[in-house]
Structure 1
Amino acid sequence: MTIPSSGGDQRGLAGARDIASAWQRLIATKAAQPFLTYHDDTTGERVELSYATFGNWLAKTANLVQDDLLAGPGDRIVVSARPHWLTAVWLVAPLLAGAVVDPWGEAKSAHTVVAGPDEQALAAARECPGERLALSLLPLGRPFDVVPDGFRDYSAEVRAFGDRFASFNPPRPDMDALVLDGETVTHGELIERAAGWEGTGRLLVDVRQDRFTGDALLSWLFGPLLTGTAIVLVRGAGPERLDRIAEMERTTGRFTLG
């Protein structure tokens, strides 16, 4: 569960009617501040992304979605990858282009599927008749050494796209945004759900499982994002190590995903 302290500042939600406008409000006030810090204790990796840096990745990926994948309103993009800073990018960026994100959804009827790096996720993703992109989730966003058969390597592809994005189909409050436990919610509904999330200044997310849907997705990503809460995403750490990370990162709340 989330342990609240001072509460989120709600800057992203003030006057926002969709994810794009909420994100722009946050960038305007928090650009240089940390947004997502990723620790992987199985590799020793630590990556810290400010709001501005995360926004650059969002823009590049949204440009790929719009200009390369040609995805727009109503097109469903399945994202099947464990919690990671690049997974977070893919859960948000298609929404800026008006597409619908379906975490761990059915691949065979999707417009596009983004999956990896484990073979189980890749095998299910091969059922998609459309575009298939693989996520290596290697340190520093490195591409695969060998690209999985039937996929394009996202990390190699995205570098060609610009870090500013203008949508051909700007999101509206009534536009479908996200599939949560089989229910498709609109941008406006997602904003409303995030408004009810208990914010905390800096949230530590202890990742114990790869899959996430529904309320878990709101708790580890969209709730914090839309309430201006920084995320510290930790994978592979035991209890003592988690406590050390919490102290080092000065977190003020904790959520266990698992």
Structure 2
Amino acid sequence: MSLTDALLGPAPDAGPLITHYDDATGERIELSGVTTANWAAKAANLLRDECDVEPGTPVAVLLPAHWQTAAVLLAVWSCGGELVSDPSTAQWVLADADHLDAALAAEPGGGVVALSLDAFGKGLSGLPAGVIDFATEVRVHGDEFVPWEPVPGDAPAWDGASVDDVLAAARAAASDLGLSSGDRVLSTRSWSDSTGIREGLLAVLAAGASLVQVVNPDEAALDRRSETERCTRRL
């Protein structure tokens, strides 16, 4: 079982799994567990078929807290790739427009995948030659994914930590945060470091809870949003 399968296994049977708000733009996107899995599968097919990501391939992700970031993280782990914090050690770097220069400067051996994070699927224009435009390419890939080979529990998944270790850490974080199945978690946490990703995303999934992620939060609106979204916990 891949890390992605383990994380999505406890997903709620009904209702949203990830709800993304950007208070700077007014964007709201809601994904069910099935839709999240489909996006992760489409992204995994892209990474496998076009980038040759397979068990052990190091991949860096330079992206903000966003539903597409969740999809590509899950995609990397579906392929058995290893998430690495240092892009200079990566074979592939996935980045948005704000981090594209840093991704290119890392000179990854495979290349760069650029994400526009556009709510309507618009790609990025004027990309350097060889950079893959995620929004354009991902749409042609299937929403079911079967890896080339099973991903063992002792395979590296994140900066040398194994699949089993990352899953155990996510479950421990969920316990420490008091998250449980059925919780609806409102979070404004950044995913810019390992702690933010582990506690702000993986712990929520591992607990079988659902996530309401707010970026560029309007602090005055959070209490009302928590009530509207029927949130039970806040990070």
Shared fold (TM-score, shorter chain, > 0.5): yes
Deviations 1:74-104 (A, max 9, x none): 11111001111101111111111111112xx
SS at match of 1:160: coil
Give distance in 2, aligned partners of 1:79 and 1:117: 12
SS at match of 2:20: strand
Kindly provide the amino acid, as one letter, of the partner of residue 214 in structure 1: S
Match status 1:249 vs 2:212: no
Q: 2:101 aligns with which of 119, 123, 130?
A: 123
Give distance in 1, aligned partners of 2:17 and 2:50: 27
The number of equivalent residue pairs is 226
Contact 2:7/2:167 (CA < 8 Å) preserved in 1? no
Contact 1:108/1:129 (CA < 8 Å) preserved in 2? no
Contact 2:8/2:206 (CA < 8 Å) preserved in 1? no
Give distance in 2, aligned partners of 1:134 and 1:52: 25
Give distance in 2, aligned partners of 1:204 and 1:168: 36
Contact 1:18/1:172 (CA < 8 Å) preserved in 2? yes
Over the matched positions of the two proteins, sequence identity in percent amounts to 32
Determine the structure 2 residue equivalent to 1:19.
3
Pairing of 1:57-96 with structure 2 (within 5 A): 57-96=39-78
Q: 1:148 aligns with which of 107, 115, 127?
A: 127
The structure carrying a bigger helix percent of its residues is 2
Give distance in 1, aligned partners of 2:101 and 2:110: 15
Deviations 1:133-191 (A, max 9, x none): 111111233322x1432422101110111011111122211011113xxxx21110112
- Return the offset for 1:199: 1.2
Displaced runs of 4 or more, over 6 A = none
Contact 1:135/1:154 (CA < 8 Å) preserved in 2? yes
Match status 1:164 vs 2:140: no
SS at match of 2:30: strand
RMSD of the alignment, in Å?
A: 1.8
- Return the offset for 1:242: 1.1
Kindly provide the amino acid, as one letter, of the partner of residue 41 in structure 1: D
Give distance in 2, aligned partners of 1:115 and 1:20: 20
SS at match of 1:194: helix
Q: What are the ranges of 5 or more consecutive residues in structure 1 without an aligned counterpart?
A: 1-16
Pairing of 1:199-238 with structure 2 (within 5 A): 199-200=179-180, 201-207=183-189, 209=190, 212-238=192-218
Kindly provide the amino acid, as one letter, of the partner of residue 119 in structure 2: P
Match status 1:191 vs 2:167: yes
Determine the structure 2 residue equivalent to 1:41.
23
